[in-house]
Amino acid sequence: MELKEDHEKITLSEDTESEETEEREKWDKKAESILSMLGFCVGLGNIWRFPYLCMRNGGGAFLIPFLFFLFFCGLPLYTLEVTVGQFSGKGIVKVWDVCPIFRGVGFGISILSTISCSYYIIIISWTTFYLINSFKSPLPWTLCLEDWNTPFCRKKNHGPAGESVNGTQYNVTSSGYSNTSITLRNQSELFSTPEEEFWQGEVLHLSGGLESIGQIQWHLALCFLAAWVMVYLCLVKGVKTVGKVVYVTATLPYILLLVILIRGLTLPGSLDGVLFYITPDFERLKDGKVWAEAAIQIFYSSGIVWGALITMASYNKFHNKCLRDCYALVLAGEGTSIFGGFVVFSVLGYMAHENGVSIEKVVKSGPGLGFIAYPEALAKLPLPNLWAVLFFIMLLTVGLDSTFGTIEPVFTALSDSFRMWRKRRALLTALFSAVCFLVGLIMCTEGGMYVFQLIDWYSAAIAVPLFGFLECIAFGWIYGAEMFSRDVMMMTGQGIPPLIRICWCFITPTILLIIMIVTLNSYVPPEYGSYKYPPWAQVFGWFVAVIPLIPIPVFAYREIKIANGRTYMEKLKNSLRPNDQWGPNHTEERKRYKGENREYTGSLLENIVVNVTGKDIS
């Protein structure tokens, strides 16, 4: 009788697991999975941050530390997250069934993603506003006599009498807006460019600082609403809609980048820009900050630790050969960064040639490149409206792809944790979008740029490397690299290569620990132009940085408390072990997995060698 009851219980458990597996959505085609992960990795960090860092940190020499961190930090973590997601078929919260004490990492990533998407979409709204204005002729950011202009407005290469100018940077405050970058044309006259005045005065209506946050700019608020509507429509049915949208959003940027590069290389001065970009300055490699910036850039350009890779891979078919996908996607994503540099500097070289200044004078990073320097360069091309439309469509698609990958982990975490939301995806998407829209409206005010800069400065500074460090510890040592390699062997027929295991266990966590120490040691308060953030704003910034970390101790305490065991040590040990919900996202393989003897035997040294290399020395 007892045996029969036990058998019934086991059958019920397996049916429940099978039901969960069947309910999990899957990509219709492998191409959808590949394009979704590629689209997330190829974000604005590849287009407007990497080329600037490369130029500032030794040109082609910057590729040495960048490739070092790519292969010893980026690739191992990328491989870990994709294989974990595909094997378990779980999102960023439930995947921690493998080591419940770290479940707070999943909730922390969810919080970080929510914070990030709330301010990331403001970039899409700026892009939308520029795209709309790209259909006006002449382009409005080329004009100096509009309502938003100040008496200081001059084109860079033309003064009142057509004199050339020298490009020395200063700051001035005018009645229209503050902290405006302007240029000394000669010993007595100052000016700012129409592109800068359009950005600061018309798009942002920039105030004097956080102390004067100002009114909502309704043109930005409407673009912000339009951006959230686009995101809602693309995410409303989960992978069924995202999988179709990425055929456009993930491929179109490459086509447009190639078109802009071909056009850029035909312009005078473009070759100078390309040579400036790739010419190595090996002396810069002696500077530790160069290596630190290369390490941090990996997180921006590969998409690791943000939860998107685990989530997107969880929709893969169980036996998908994901290891080779990981290697190809990492190379494709970082190759896009390098390719994007050629696109940017070919046009900036032309821009420097036209203005008669050195390339350093026209190079900007982030929004300064996307919304000041590049629009200025596009305005100088034949058919400027055409090139402006193509450029901002490219930025829009890149931004949307990154947003999909940022938000989807949050939805998956909610639907995995609260199954009622699985059948109410449209309502969940609508509620999330509405809340984020209302919270993000503060960045549509006159002081919104200061809020954007503050959150961008602090939000991921500590959380991202810490989450990556804990992933390595959990899967490299607590669950074990050898144990997980067996899981991957079951899934793909190929185990984890020894070099990747060594990275998980030693090299990658060491690099992440150093990044955290360097980040804290080299901390400087944020600035925007000449505006220095007050102490209370810095305190708020650190609060934003700490919020994603709070779930780690909270859920560690909870998991220890609910774990099996009578003593504290028994509960602690059980909270470090996989629970009954951990296993393959495949019904038949799950049965085989449950029947295996997965305990380590032998001495501590023997177990360490097996864990790292996969070779038994006993």
Interval 560-589 mean pLDDT: 91
pLDDT tens by residue, 156-168: 655 443 333 444 4
Query: In CATH, what is the architecture of 22-138+215-365+386-587?
Result: Up-down Bundle (1.20)
Residues contacting residue 315 through CB under 8 Å, at least 6 positions apart? 24, 25, 26, 27, 33, 239
Let me know: does 400 contact 249? Beta carbons within 8 Å. yes
pLDDT tens by residue, 85-95: 999 999 999 99
Residue 527, SS3 per DSSP: strand
Q: How confident is the model at residue 602 (pLDDT cuts 50, 70, 90)?
A: low
pLDDT averaged over the chain? 84
Q: Please check the confidence at residue 19 and state whether its pLDDT lies above 80.
A: no
For 426, other C-beta atoms within 10 Å of its C-beta total: 13
What is the predicted pLDDT for the residue at 81?
A: 97
With tokens 């290596």, the residue in question is: 291
What is the predicted pLDDT for the residue at 439?
A: 92
Q: Is 402 part of any known ligand binding site? A: yes
What is the predicted pLDDT for the residue at 420?
A: 80
> Which helix H or strand E contains 300, and what residues bound it?
helix 288-302
16 vs 220, more confident: 220
Counting beta carbons within 10 angstroms of the beta carbon of residue 360, is it exposed (0 to 12), middle (13 to 18) or buried (19 or more)?
exposed
User: What is the 3-class SS of 309-371, one letter each residue?
Assistant: HHHHHCCCCCCCCHHHHHHHHHHHHHHHHHHHHHHHHHHHHHHHHHHCCCHHHCCCCCHHHHH
What is the predicted pLDDT for the residue at 176?
A: 37
Residues contacting residue 176 through CB under 8 Å, at least 6 positions apart? 148, 149, 150, 197, 201
With tokens 């995995």, the residue in question is: 416
Let me know: does 77 contact 468? Beta carbons within 8 Å. yes
Let me know: does 124 contact 440? Beta carbons within 8 Å. no
573, amino acid identity = K
Q: Please check the confidence at residue 321 and state whether its pLDDT lies above 60.
A: yes
- Top-confidence range, 157-161, 290-294, 493-497, 603-607: 493-497
Let me know: does 532 contact 450? Beta carbons within 8 Å. no
What is the predicted pLDDT for the residue at 249?
A: 84
Interval 266-280 mean pLDDT: 89
pLDDT tens by residue, 189-236: 467 889 889 998 999 998 989 999 999 999 999 999 999 999 999 888
β-partners of residue 190 are: 184
Q: How confident is the model at residue 599 (pLDDT cuts 50, 70, 90)?
A: low
411, amino acid identity = F
Counting beta carbons within 10 angstroms of the beta carbon of residue 104, is it exposed (0 to 12), middle (13 to 18) or buried (19 or more)?
buried
Spatial CA neighbour of 402 closest among 25, 37, 130? 37
The 8-class DSSP code of residue 460 comes to: T
Interval 383-403 mean pLDDT: 90
Q: How confident is the model at residue 44 (pLDDT cuts 50, 70, 90)?
A: confident
User: Which of 357-366, 393-402, 495-504 has the weakest average pLDDT?
Assistant: 357-366
Angstrom distance (rounded) from CA 324 to CA 190: 56
Interval 25-34 mean pLDDT: 88
The 8-class DSSP code of residue 588 comes to: H
Q: Please check the confidence at residue 183 and state whether its pLDDT lies above 70.
A: no
Distances (CA, A) of 487 to 85, 196, 509: 12, 55, 22
Residue 279 sits at φ, ψ, to 5 deg, of -65, 120
Q: Is 42 part of any known ligand binding site? A: yes
Q: How confident is the model at residue 609 (pLDDT cuts 50, 70, 90)?
A: confident
Q: Where in the chain is the domain with CATH 1.20.1740.10?
A: 22-138+215-365+386-587
Spatial CA neighbour of 491 closest among 362, 572, 590, 420? 590
Angstrom distance (rounded) from CA 375 to CA 384: 9
Angstrom distance (rounded) from CA 319 to CA 488: 9
Q: Please check the confidence at residue 516 and state whether its pLDDT lies above 50.
A: yes
Angstrom distance (rounded) from CA 396 to CA 242: 16
Counting beta carbons within 10 angstroms of the beta carbon of residue 209, is it exposed (0 to 12), middle (13 to 18) or buried (19 or more)?
middle
Residue 288 sits at φ, ψ, to 5 deg, of -65, -30
Q: Is 301 part of any known ligand binding site? A: yes
Percent of the chain at pLDDT above 90? Answer: 45
Alpha-carbon dihedral 371, 377, 380, 384, rounded to 10 degrees? -50
Angstrom distance (rounded) from CA 542 to CA 610: 41
User: Which of 159-173, 264-278, 370-384 has the weakest average pLDDT?
Assistant: 159-173
